[in-house]
Amino acid sequence: MNEKTSRIPKFYKRTIQERTQVVQEWAKLSHKQINQLANGGLTPEQADKMIENTIGLFNMPFAIATNFRINSKDYLLPMVIEEPSVVAAISNAARLFREGGGFQTSSDEPIMIGQIQILDIPNFNTAIEQINKNKQQLLKEANTVGGSIVKRGGGAIDIELRPFPNTQLGNMLIVHLLYDTRDAMGANAINTAVEYIAPYLEKITGGRVNLRILSNLTDKRKAYAEGVIPAQALANRSMSGEEVVRSIVEAGIFAEVDPYRAATHNKGIMNGIDAVIIATGNDWRAIEAGAHAYAARGGSYTSLTHWWQDEDGNLRGRIELPLAVGIVGGATRVHPLAQLSLQILGVKSARELAEIIAAAGLAQNLAAIRALATDGIQQGHMRMHARQLAVAAGAKDENVLQIAETMIQEGNIRLERAKQLVIQLQGENS
Ligand code: MEV
C-alpha cells in the first residue's frame, strides 16, 4: 500500500536543494544519485559509448511534476524539457484531475509490429497460402533469436498479412510479425527477428525481400488515460466553472475537426509526453512518429484527446495513443538519470510507465487548452520570460523575481528595462 502523497503544495517555491530532498526521501535516492542529478548524470566516457563522434555533453533541466494520482496511486513525474511553464502547468492540471479522483488508465499488451516487404512474388495467392500454412514454423524460427525477451515470456506471437496488389512495383506483400516485447521497447529484438526470418519467407513465397524493420505506428500497444474535473474547480475570476467547461469542450472540438489546430493541440500533449519519455531514456522520435501517425489514422489528422461535459456538468477528458516504451534495455539502462527517473516513478512494468505517460499527455493538454480557453497562455509565459530577461540582464539570484514582477506590473517586459532595474537595485544595495 502506497501512502505517499504527490500533492506537495508550493513545491515550486522551494530551493533546488529542498526539492531534491523531497525526491530523495520519496524514492530513497543514494548520495551518488543526488550528485548525478546535480551534474547531469552522464560522463563523457559513457556518452562516447552511446553514440559516435562524441565531443561532449548537452545538459537539459530535470524537473519534477507533482500532484499526479493514477489508479489510486500517487506519482512524482520526472520531466526533462527546455520549455518554460510546461512543468508548472502540468502540475496544476494534475491537481485539478486529483479533485475528480485522479486518472484512470489502462494499456494494451506490449505488442510491436515488425514489417517485411516482399516483392517479385510469382504467385500472390500461393505466397499468402504458404505463409499462413507455415505460420507456426515462422514464429518458432523468429523466437530462436529472441534472447532475453523470449526468456521473459515474450517473443513472436502472430503473423498478419497486408497485401498491396498492383502497386507501381507490381504485387507487394507486407508481412507483419507481431512481437510481444514485455518490459522492453523491443526495437532490437524485433529487427533481429524480421531479419532472421526474411530468407525463410523468400524461400516459401518465391519472392524477394526488401525492407525488414519495425513499425513505429505501434497501434497494438496503446495506452489510455481518462479523468474528470469538477466544474467548480475550473472557475476563475472572470468565468464560472460551467463556462470554462464549455470553452474547453469547444477547444477540444476545434482540434478534432481542424488539422491546423490539431497539430498545435497535439504538440502541447507531446510537451508532457516527451519530457517523461526523455527523462526515462526512451526514444522520443519513435513516440512522436507513432503518435502523429495514429492521429492521422482516419485519413485526416486529428486530436489525440477527446473532451466532453458529463451528465453532472463536469469536464471529462480522455487520451488514447500508441506508447511503445521500455523500462529495460537501451538508454534506460545506460543513462544513470534514466534509471533514477524510473526509481522516482517506482514503476514495475513498461505498461505502467506507458499509462503514466498517457496521463501526463492528458494533463498537459488540459493545462494548455484551459489557459487558451480562459486567459490565454501569454500571461504565464510572460512571467517566465520576464525572469529569463532579468537573468540575461545580470540580476543576482535574489533579485530575479523582484525585477520580473516589476516588469510585469509595469507591462514593460524588455531586456532594456531589466538592465535598468539591475542597475537601480545595485545602486540601492551599494
Ligand atoms: C506550446 O508549447 C503548446 C501549446 O501551443 C499547446 C496548445 O496550443 O494546445 C500551448
267 lines ligand 1 (CB under 6 A): yes
Give the pLDDT score at 376: 86
267 C-alpha vs ligand 1 centroid, how far in Å? 6
Q: How many angstroms does the Cα of residue 340 sit away from the middle of ligand 1?
A: 29
Instruction: Report CA(384)–ligand 1 centroid distance (Å).
Output: 15
Supply the pLDDT for residue 375: 85
Question: Is residue 247 helix, strand or coil?
Answer: helix
Tell me, what's the pLDDT at 261? Answer: 98
Which residue's CA is the closest to the ligand 1 atom numbered 1?
268
Q: Which CATH architecture has domain 11-106+233-376?
A: Alpha-Beta Complex (3.90)
Known catalytic membership, residue 52: no
C-alpha cell at 259: 488539422
Q: What burial class does residue 15 get, using C-beta atoms within 10 Å of its C-beta: 0-12 exposed, 13-18 middle, 19+ buried?
A: exposed
CATH 1.10.8 location in the chain: 379-429
* H or E element at residue 39: helix 31-39
Strands 111-119 and 170-180, by their bridges, are: antiparallel
The domain defined by 379-429 folds into: Helicase, Ruva Protein; domain 3 (1.10.8)
Q: Which amino acid, 163?
A: P
DSSP conformational letter for 137: H
The CATH number, out of the four listed (3.40.640.10, 3.30.70.420, 3.50.50.60, 1.10.287.1080), of the domain defined by the range 111-214:
3.30.70.420
How far, in Å, is the centroid of ligand 1 from the Cα of 261? 10
Determine the distance separating the centroid of ligand 1 and the alpha carbon of 364, expressed in angstroms.
9
Half-sphere exposure of 186 (CA within 13 A, CB side): 35
Q: Determine whether the shortest distance from the Cβ of 263 to ligand 1 is under 6 A.
A: no
**CATH 3.30.70.420 domain locations along the chain:** 111-214
The closest-lying atom of ligand 1 relative to the alpha carbon of residue 365 is 9
Q: Where in the chain is the domain with CATH 3.90.770.10?
A: 11-106+233-376
Separation between Cα atoms, residue 296 and residue 292, nearest integer Å: 6
Query: Cell triple for residue 39?
Result: 551534474
The one catalytic residue in 18, 25, 83, 410 is: 83
Any catalytic annotation for residue 219? no
**How many angstroms separate the CA atoms of 297 and 124, rounded?**
27
- pTM value is 0.92
Q: Which pLDDT does position 3 carry in this prediction?
A: 77
- pLDDT in the model for residue 364: 98
What was the pLDDT predicted at 384? 81
Point out the ligand 1 atom lying closest to the alpha carbon of residue 377.
10
Divide the 430 residues of the chain into consecutive groups of 10 and give the mean pLDDT of each group.
Answer: 84 95 97 96 94 96 98 98 95 98 98 98 98 98 93 96 97 98 95 98 98 98 98 95 98 98 98 98 97 98 98 98 94 90 97 98 98 86 88 92 93 95 87
Question: Angle at which helices 350-373 and 86-99 pack, to 10 degrees?
Answer: 100
Q: Which atom of ligand 1 is nearest to the CA of 271?
A: 2
> What's the CA gap between 396 and 361, in Å, rounded?
35
Q: How far is CA 123 from CA 20, 167, 284, 390, in A?
A: 64, 15, 40, 71
Q: How many Å from the N-terminal Cα to the C-terminal Cα in the chain? A: 56
Q: Is 368 in the pocket of ligand 1 (CB under 6 A)?
A: yes
Strand partners, 392: none
The whole-number pLDDT of residue 189 equals 95
Taking the C-alpha atoms of residue 215 and residue 117, their distance in angstroms, rounded to an integer, is 12
Neighbours of 92 (CB within 10 A): 19
- Atom 7 of ligand 1: nearest residue by CA position: 265
CA distance 282 to 51: 15
Q: Is 417 in the pocket of ligand 1 (CB under 6 A)?
A: no
